Amino acid sequence: MKHWRQEMRQASSSSSQQRLGLNVPVLAAKFALCSRLVASEGEPGVSGEAMDYSIRIADWCSKYSAGVRDMLTKSSRRATLVGAADAMLKRIREHGRITPRDLYRTYDCQRKELHDPVLEELINTGKVRCVDGFIEVVESTPVNQSSLPTDADVDSG
Amino acid sequence: MSATAHREGEAGIVGPGVIGQVTTQLGSNFSLSPYCILPVCFAAIGGSLGKAARLRTPVWPGLLNPALHIALSDADGRLSQALDFILQPLRDLQNERFVEETESTRRWIKQRIKSLERVHEEWTTTDLENDPSPESRPGQITALRRRLKPRMLVENPAPGQLVKVMSTSEDGALLVTFDDNSLAALFDAATTKAANDFRLLEHGWHGRTFEIPKVKGHCPGPIVEPVISCLIVCHPDTLGRLLSSKEPVVARFCRQLVTLSTCEGSPPRSIDSRQSVELFDWWKESNRELVDRRRAGADYRIALSRSA
């Protein structure tokens, strides 16, 4: 049971991984139990071969699972941040020029560590700017708007 | 169906027997890697068997149950379709429960089992006396338990429903599935009911007894050593929100989740309908055998063999 012992050793040595990721030896044991229930190799218990096979599958699941989880949580965090940034931009527009401290006071939960990354996102994307300690919306003018014909031009033309 | 399916890949082999065949066939039908489907088959097997078999292993204190929690990030619906094939035998077997016995008959059977067990305990002098003949009391109890047909599958329960179903379950084992809407309802609800469902799922994976919270002065008994497998199949955004949750009960549940996504397999081949039907009959038969053992009240304690 080379794989089994190896997994046990790895699981006990990497305590943080065990806390955050899947417990490979236990997952493998569950897989082995399910395999044993539908396919017996004539042995009364779970065979060494079946256990090795289950450990390989559990190890793959653990690694793949960690990758999928990482990808999904990153994109979920990004979506949450973008949503919060849109809501903050709306508040800044409603209040006009405002200091970050006063802006955060408009929220039920006023924790700085919660709102700082959102404001940072708005500044980084160029939607607001910070001038003399005040936050103000950057009003973007559509390109070539001045060159578009006005109603008066159309009437006179 | 004697041929065994072996397929080289990321983890080595998909494996022989009915599980290997089903994963390979579904992988081919939906152009999915068999590895995404394999853990789902294990969860379905665990769901069919419930508490009827547990494993003694050096990696777990006490007996380890077969419950698994699997989450599938399904962007295009292919995993959802594959899951339908895997779960259909359980749905069919569960429907027998509703078709064959009425609720009043089920109540009568339960009372009859209790009285038979009481008499058996009074008159049995040794623990080893367990005559399996149909006329004996254990034989009668087994036959009655088979007729009870415990609930095995709950699909898309509303918040709070899981605890309710488990508190009235005959054998304390269940396979529960969640889709986009039911999952979002569970973790967006942020209610005590939803939190209890997550706690029960976590306990069901460990097999640890769950104390049902008091409801309006009524104090129900605990759910002893529940075995609950959970299959989530939903859009990546919904799954991402679940995995990012900061709620401690949700975070603890997520630590048990095997999270898989739609991994591409070989391009679909032409489907041999006869072979496919035969294969799913075989899959259903395998599930039925396990369900029969469960309904008969089996309690296998499997150990690792000497070679393991």
Mean pLDDT estimate for chain B: 82
A36: nearest CA in chain B?
B302
Q: What is the pLDDT of residue B279?
A: 87
Question: What is the reported pLDDT for B9?
Answer: 40
Instruction: Kindly state the percentage of chain A with pLDDT values over 90.
Output: 39
Residues 42-61 of A with CB under 8 A from B: 43-51, 53, 56-57, 59-61
pLDDT at B153: 93
pLDDT digits (tens, 9 = 90+) for B49-101: 898 899 998 888 889 999 999 999 998 889 999 999 999 999 998 887 777 77
User: What tens digit of pLDDT does each residue of B214-242 get?
Assistant: 766 565 678 889 999 999 999 999 999 99
Ranking A86-95, B7-16, B49-58, B202-211 by mean pLDDT, the lowest is B7-16
Answer whether A44 sits within 8 Å of B305, measured CB to CB.
Answer: yes
pLDDT class for B134, splitting at 50, 70, 90? low
Q: For B203-217, what is the mean pLDDT?
A: 82
Would you call A35 and B15 a contact, using CB atoms and an 8 Å cutoff? yes
For residue B22, being part of any structural domain is answered with: yes
Q: What is the mean pLDDT of chain A?
A: 80
Res A19 pLDDT > 50: no
Predicted confidence band of residue A25 (pLDDT cuts 50, 70, 90): very high
Confidence label for B2 from pLDDT (cuts 50, 70 and 90): very low
Q: Print the domain residue range for B282.
A: 8-146+153-303
Q: Which pLDDT score, from 0 to 100, does residue A141 have?
A: 55
What's the rounded mean pLDDT across residues A8-34?
Answer: 72
Say what the ipTM of the complex is. 0.82
Is B258 close to A22, i.e. CB distance below 8 A? Answer: yes
Q: Is residue B3 part of a domain?
A: no
Report whether B298 contacts B53 (CB < 8 A).
Answer: yes
pLDDT digits (tens, 9 = 90+) for B142-157: 777 777 777 899 999 9
Tally of structural domains, chain B = 1
Per-residue 3-state assignment (H helix, E strand, C coil) for chain B: CCCCCCCEECCEECCCHHHHHHHHHHHHHHCECHHHHHHHHHHHHHHHHCCCEEEECCCCCCEECCCCEEEEECCCCHHHHHHHHHHHHHHHHHHHHHHHCCHHHHHHHHHHHHHHHHHHHHHCCCCCCCCCCCCCHHHHHHHHHHHHCCCCEEECCCCCHHHHHHHCCCCCEEEEEECHHHHHHHHHHCCHHHHHHHHHHHHHHHCCCECCCCECCECCCCECCCEEEEEEEECHHHHHHHHCCCCHHHHHHHCCEEEEECCECCCCCCCCHHHHHHHHHHHHHHHHHHHHHHHCCCCEEEEECCCC
Quick check: is B1 in a domain? Answer: no
Residue-wise pLDDT tens digits, A105-154: 999 888 888 899 999 999 999 999 988 899 999 876 555 544 455 555 54
Question: What integer is the mean pLDDT of A90-97?
Answer: 91
pTM here? Answer: 0.76
Q: Does B73 touch chain A (CB under 8 A)?
A: yes
The confidence score (pLDDT) of residue B118 equals 83
pLDDT at A16: 46
* Alpha carbon of A33: minimum distance to chain B alpha carbons (Å): 6
Question: Which comes out higher in pLDDT, residue A4 or A38?
Answer: A38
* Domain boundaries along the sequence of chain A: 2-74, 77-137
Q: What is the pLDDT of residues B163-199, one digit of tens each?
A: 988 887 878 899 999 999 999 998 877 678 889 999 9
Angstroms from B158 CA to nearest CA on chain A: 24
Tell me if B308 is assigned to some domain. no
